[in-house]
Structure 1
């Protein structure tokens, strides 16, 4: 009986079918430029039935597939985006199949090679653009001289003046011609639709190469609108007399949309001491969208508003020469989430400020008053420590002067010789009467800089102030807001405070250096900007926040902003 059992068992084994191991045949090698999409392909055969498929990319896991049906073959395909690799670099995908008998195939290799990116065509643009014009990211556009969208270059809009709409694709690069002071001007009645993305911002920059760029290499981006201003007659030409006429009666005017746009190395002088700003907004209306904009290394102001009602969110002023945010001629828009970072020696002969705000150049009572509302701004001056040398041309975190009626909330200021200067009797009267408002403002000094954390950077210069209580005359005269010194008036308003040093506020010291800063706040700091903040009631435009300054735990500059543009190769 035992012998019979052995015979039967051996007969069963001899009858069991034996299957060959699976086999994999990789597809034809693929190639392309960085960013191109290709398919990794292979043909698989497994007579015993497929169980799993494993794909490795240069030895690391890339993809797996499990088979549940009794499949004996498969045509595998998987999309792969070629990474930013040097031309000729190979990426090898190893493909291995196993079958239901746990037999494995021999590895098969599918290769993808990166090829050189062909240089983009440079298209020189001149003169007036009318109708619908689109600029593609597949090309680079060079601004030669004053490039105008629309033909309204007169003080009073001529009947039938040609208009245009310029649409710029995400990822497009525009360069300004240095020799001709290349500038883009959106004339009154025309539009720009420049909506980049967080991963593909639109960049306006210098035509010069890496290591050669400097402030004032080209003009800048100018938008002229039809909203009201307080200029005589309601219409005016922007500084420099380059026919940038602006103004009207339509506060809801729509000049288009800017999202995820960078302007670098702008600010060329049109005439002596008349530079174009990185971003210039002349009487731009509230129908226009401004979000995620960065001005870097400009030769004048980073952002300037001449009248108008346009709103803005997420603004970055980086190492500009003159003022970061300049507002005058009846600007009445709302601004939230803005940051300014200064360079230690980059300051203008006119004096550099975080905010410079006027009703107009003469401080008249012309209406509409300059009366914007701002919230969640961080003004980071150049003075990191007592040892940091800064230009003596730096002045104030906020220079509020000439009869303006600004309202500012949840804002942080440090590193300037003076925190706030309320300049002039009419401005002081506005503050006393409640039409100029500062709430939830944190002023932070610099350890050891003068006796109070503020100063001018040199022993021969006068002492600075968190809030100036004397003017800049010689000899200095006391300033008063009603019956109070400005510092007493400031301290008596909701949420305002002065701390000895920025180092206790939760702000990273990286905001004073070059390269990408860490903007998020360290909440455990003694005077952290997200602690015990009174929440003001603001217009519907504003996002409710419970912190002071432009950031809390999220960096909204991530991926799209650039803090080292001198090293970026734009022309390839």
Structure 2
């Protein structure tokens, strides 16, 4: 009996163990798996190119949200990860509508995964690209006074001579109305061709035109793509109250359009220009009296100027008539006459500038990189034209010996009529002549050290004459790195003291003459159409990447140890436009 009781107890224990194991196994087999995440895309969005819209979705993940992955037209756009325990989210990500055609769609595919690595069914959020509404064209005429604002959501059309301020006589009347014109970044201003539209900032008034690298302010032709020409409108004129060397200290700008300038305030403030382009300007006011792209009449040092570009102008790209204004980063691109014209006692500081010429675009008066006078007669009037320019690059028309250029091209530097300009750290090539120190008074200023050329590199063109500066061609009779004779029918010898100008030039600090510009490291693209490369090639035998110095030039000047306008940084990037003929401005 005892044996049977023991047997039944053992049997019961075994049965209990078996039942427990079976129960545990059954529980493991019946574990509940949470459902996969569910993603619901938000309402479809739309916007014009440049608009910001939000990509949205609602997400539920009972098993714990792990990641959300978003693809834009099949390409990775965004990934978001989540902390343990997160089971839901209202996803939002900002998207800037790209420059796509109206009606185009951008599809965002949204997928969520949970802690069990279960993925949701892909869901699509769509952004529709809508057409950019045409901008309102606002016609502007006459005299503007008070505070005026121009905004980028409109286009402003200059009809006739548009003046900011009413100072239009040689003597400023008491109580004359003044104005301040403020222009928003990205604003486009067009000039009326028929009425010679021109913007003139009169004495005592201001322009605040501060664009950005991403949104420059553009003054341009009213004409359509493919139809634009130099001289389609006037240009941008600023008249200030600083000193010049005109009789009585006051003068009217060329063309007699009441652009009176001059006074006694060298610190005068006419406002600020930054990231501003002027295209297709230079309309003749009278025969042979064109407006420059940028005209600065006695502008004072209180005025700010940086990142300015003159493109396809019919006259000079930049001209200073007296004044003391300082500036940096100037581009003169394929203008007709001179790139940088300096007159009437200009005494400011200018650093970083480039002039690039077209092969056939030259003026009947003769086209130069720099053209510099004390005044039109070469008088000894004070203040002298004695400003300081540093780190300029002058690219003439002659890119190769085979390139045919206008015989109206003259000099990289035409220094004449008793001026005392100072030029440092500057490179020039592609002109028939490099330096022409014209006239006895100018030569005397050079001998006394009042006209300064330091760290100047002149480069010739391979195979162009015997020295790379145009000798040997009947249609191009000039050709000197530094002219030792004048341009008379029977040339007369020139001298600086007892030296030939070419000997004097090479005796100045850091000056060089290089037979072939290729050896300087500049890019051949500077002579071609479209955006060039400004990088200086490494390893060039006469590289201009070194050899410059701004020591002693004053606190205004940025330290630079290279020759020319460019070191390691291309300061034209983003804001400068080298193919404006193809840009659609009115849309």
Q: TM-score range with shorter-chain normalisation?
A: over 0.9
Q: Is the 8 A contact 1:391 1:457 kept in 2?
A: no
Distance 1:377 1:113, change over 3 A: same
- 1:199 paired with 2:214, answer yes
Matched ranges for 1:33-44 at <5 A: 33-44=48-59
For residues 64-84 of structure 1, the C-alpha deviation after alignment (integer angstroms, 9 at most, x for no partner) is 111013011110011101000
Structure 1 vs Structure 2 CA RMSD: 1.2
Aligned to 1:363, which of 378, 385, 388?
A: 378
Q: 1:474 to 1:22 in 2, by over 3 A?
A: same
- The structure 2 residue matched to 1:424, chosen from 436, 439, 455, is 439
Aligned to 2:504: 489
Question: C-alpha distance in 1, partners of 2:138/2:97?
Answer: 27
Counterpart among 87, 91, 103 of residue 102 in structure 2: 87
Work out which of the residue numbers 178, 188, 202 in structure 2 matches 1:187.
202
Q: Give the CA deviation at 1:103.
A: 0.4
SS in 2 for 1:510: helix
Q: Superposition pairs for residues 20-39 of structure 1, below 5 Å?
A: 20-39=35-54
Confirm or deny: 8 A CA contact 2:407 2:475 kept in the other structure: no
Deviations 1:307-345 (A, max 9, x none): 000011000000000000000000001000000000000
SS at match of 2:314: coil
1:434 lines up with 2:449 in the alignment: yes
Name the CA distance, whole Å, in 2 between partners of 1:22 and 1:457.
Answer: 82
Quick one: which of 271, 282, 286 aligns to 2:286?
A: 271
Query: Which position in structure 1 is the counterpart of 2:124?
Result: 109
**Distance in 2 between residues matched to 1:38 and 1:525, nearest whole Å:** 50
CA drift at 1:524: 1.8
Q: CA deviation at 1:222?
A: 0.2
Contact kept, 8 Å, 1:390 with 1:457, in 2: the verdict is: no
CA distance in 2, matches of 1:534, 1:117: 49
1:544 counterpart residue number: 559
**Unaligned regions of 5+ residues in structure 1, if any?**
none
- In structure 2, the partner of 1:382 is 397
Once the 2 structures are TM-superposed, how far is the Cα of residue 463 of structure 1 from its aligned partner? Answer: 3.9
1:144 maps to 159
**What CA deviation, in whole Å up to 9, does each residue of 1:377-433 have, x standing for no partner?**
000001000000000000000000000000011000000000000000000000000
In 2, Cα distance between equivalents of 1:368 and 1:69: 77
Task: For 1:44-55, list aligned pairs within 5 A.
Answer: 44-55=59-70
Once residues 568 and 538 of structure 2 are traced to their aligned partners in structure 1, the CA distance between those partners, rounded to angstroms, is 9
Q: Once the two structures are superposed, what CA deviation does each residue of 1:415-462 show, in whole Å capped at 9, x if it has no partner?
A: 000000000000000000000111000000000101000017842442
Whole-Å separation in 2 of the counterparts to 1:10 and 1:115: 61
**Secondary structure in 1 matching 2:426:** strand
Q: 1:524 aligns with which of 539, 563, 571?
A: 539
Change in 2 beyond 3 A, CA 1:532/1:278:
closer
Moved more, 302-311 or 536-545: 536-545
If the length of structure 1 is used for normalisation, what is the TM-score? 0.99
> What TM-score comes out, normalization by structure 2 length?
0.96
Q: Match of 1:410, SS?
A: strand
How many residues matched?
A: 572
Mapping 1:150-165, distance limit 5 Å: 150-165=165-180
- CA apart distance, 1:18: 1.6
Match of 1:348 in 2: 363
> Once the 2 structures are TM-superposed, how far is the Cα of residue 530 of structure 1 from its aligned partner?
1.2
Q: Give the Å deviation of 1:539.
A: 1.0
Cα distance in 1, alignment partners of residues 529 and 327 from structure 2: 26
| Structure 1 position 9, deviation (Å) | 4.7
The CA deviation at 1:17 is 2.5
1:308-323 equivalences in 2 (<5 Å) = 308-323=323-338
* Corresponding position of 1:468: 483
Q: Is the 8 A contact 1:309 1:333 kept in 2?
A: yes
The residue aligned with 1:254 is 269
Aligned equivalents of 2:389, 2:164: Cα separation in 1: 30
Alignment of 1:435-454 (within 5 A): 435-454=450-469
- Name the CA distance, whole Å, in 2 between partners of 1:298 and 1:456: 29
2:458, 2:513 within 8 Å by CA — same for their partners in 1?
yes
Match of 1:119 among 122, 126, 134: 134
Aligned to 1:376, the other structure's residue is in SS state strand
- Work out whether residues 510 and 547 of structure 2, in 8 Å CA contact, stay in contact via their aligned partners in 1: no
Cα distance, 1:16 vs structure 2: 2.4
Give the match's secondary structure for 2:482: coil
Q: What is the match of residue 135 of structure 1?
A: 150
Tell me which residue corresponds to 1:558. 573
Paired residue secondary structure (2:26): helix
1:389 and 1:457 in contact (8 A); partners too: no
Q: Deviations over 1:114-134 (max 9, x none)?
A: 000010000000000000000
Whether contact under 8 Å (1:392, 1:456) holds in the other structure is: no
Residues 20-46 of structure 1 deviation map (CA, whole Å, 9 limit, x = unaligned): 000000001000100111000000000
- Counterpart position of 2:514: 499
- Equivalents in 2 of 1:322, 1:438: separation in Å? 23
Q: 1:557 Cα deviation (Å)? A: 0.3
Give the C-alpha shift of residue 520 in structure 1.
1.4
Decide whether aligned partners of structure 1 residues 559 and 460 sit closer, same or farther in structure 2, where only a CA change above 3 A counts.
closer
The answer on whether the counterparts of 1:523 and 1:531 sit within 8 Å (CA) in structure 2 is no
* TM superposition shift of 1:537: 2.0
| Partners of 1:195 and 1:106 in 2: CA distance | 50
Shift of 1:8: 4.8
| SS of aligned partner of 1:43 | strand
1: CA distance, partners of 2:305 / 2:136: 29
Larger Cα-atom Rg: 2
Query: Runs of 5+ in structure 2 lacking a partner?
Result: 1-13
2:459 maps to 1:411? no
**Cα distance in 1 for residues equivalent to 2:478 and 2:196:** 40
